[in-house]
Amino acid sequence: MEPSQARAELLAQHDRLRQLFTEVQASADRLRAGETGPADFQRRLAELRREFAAHNESEERLLEPILRLDFAWGPARIARMLEEHGAEHTSFRDALAGPELEVAARFADLVEEIDAHIAAEERTFLSPGVLRDDMVTLEDTG
């Protein structure tokens, strides 16, 4: 897959995650206001968990081979991506643990944290300057 195609796919996934965060936040607000029971919130959280895990898997699968082509910065970018995903997974899991009303109460903080992470990825790993179709690689002829 060309870097620009990978970028487009991952940015579309980011848009989908942002949409899901908005939907889950609305459900959390309704739950906290006593307008609904926990079933809708649980269902939306389950969908968010699946989409989030699938996105991170896609991101690592698509970006690692592309980033590896950049001999100067690629290894550091890959290490950073994997480190950030590990920390992000822990934070995500911890924020979504516990009774529904407690999770709903702290969900806005999680959204803010993950949105900041997504925005940072878009400025770094997913920037057009990093994911270029015209990447030049050096082959080992030794």
The tens digit of pLDDT for each residue in 85-110 reads: 888 888 888 888 899 999 999 999 99
CB-CB contact of 55 with 68 (8 Å): no
Q: Looking at the domain assignment, is residue 73 inside a domain?
A: yes
Q: What's the Cα-to-Cα distance from 130 to each of 47, 89, 102, 116, 127, rounded to whole Å?
A: 30, 24, 39, 19, 5
Examine residue 8 and state whether it is found in any structural domain, yes or no. Answer: yes
Q: Counting Cβ atoms within 10 Å, is residue 131 exposed (0-12), middle (13-18) or buried (19+)?
A: buried
pLDDT of residue 45 exceeding 90, the answer is yes
- Cα within 13 Å of Cα(32), Cβ side: 14
The pLDDT, as a whole number, for residue 140 is: 40
Q: Has residue 81 been placed in a domain?
A: yes
DSSP letter (8 states) at residue 112: H
Whether 69 maps to a domain, the answer reads: yes
pLDDT digits (tens, 9 = 90+) for 27-39: 999 999 999 999 9
Residue 137 within any structural domain of the chain: no
Question: Between 114 and 12, where is the model more confident?
Answer: 12
Considering its fold, how many domains does the chain have in total?
1
Q: Which of 31-40, 105-114, 124-133 has the lowest mean pLDDT?
A: 124-133
Amino acid at 92: F
The residue range of the domain holding 83 is: 3-123
Q: Is residue 135 part of a domain?
A: no
Q: Are the beta carbons of 129 and 67 closer than 8 angstroms? A: no
pLDDT confidence of residue 76: 86
Residue type, position 109, single letter: D
Q: Are 89 and 117 in contact (CB under 8 A)?
A: no
Per-residue confidence (pLDDT) for residue 81, from 0 to 100: 84
User: Do residues 28 and 104 make contact, with C-beta atoms less than 8 angstroms apart?
Assistant: yes
- Percentage of the chain lying above the pLDDT 90 cut: 49
Tokens matching residue 26 = 């609305």
The predicted model scores a pTM of: 0.83
